[in-house]
Amino acid sequence: MKNWIRTLVLCATLAGCTGLPSDLRTPEISFVSMRALEASLFEQRLEVRMKVRNPNIIDLPVKGLDVDVELADEPFAHGVSAREFVVPAQGEAEFDMIVTANAATALLKIAGSDRKSREEIGYRVKGRLATRLGLLRSIPFDESGTVPLSELLGKRRKDK
């Protein structure tokens, strides 16, 4: 009887995976911009705009995100979103989420850096993307890049 149960569990597990390609790639998460919602000396609530790029040949049904953001190599913000959306196969989607930040350390480092470093800021976003893909319920990610300070603050560059 126990072998029968094991066989049933194995079949159910394999059936849940049959619709998934074997070469799924990690989606790319990037930081687009941010906007202050509330601020105090010790804590800030920010709305950040994130972009998810899906390099796979199947749609990516996202059911939530847990994100840590670093700016200028300093811990900056953390947020959890339960917003559901679908990133099309080989496509991208942007979304907004609320994060809580303690920006003092990162802002002091940015203010003390040279002018070029203040025009473009290095960032890192890492965390887990929750999905509705069979048994693949969580995908870790760790992405980094740079963003112009004007875009980070939601400002547009003036063409010269």
Task: Please give the angle made by the CA atoms of 135, 52 and 83, to the nearest 5 degrees.
Answer: 70
pLDDT tens digits along 10-24: 344 444 444 555 678
Q: How many CB atoms lie within 10 A of CB 142?
A: 11
Return the structure tokens found at 93: 């989607």
In words, the CATH class of domain 26-144 is: mainly beta
> What is residue 149's predicted lDDT score, i.e. its pLDDT?
72
Output the average pLDDT for the chain. 77
Pairing of strands 44-53, 60-71: unpaired
Q: How confident is the model over 24-57, as pLDDT tens digits?
A: 888 999 878 888 898 887 788 999 898 999 999 9
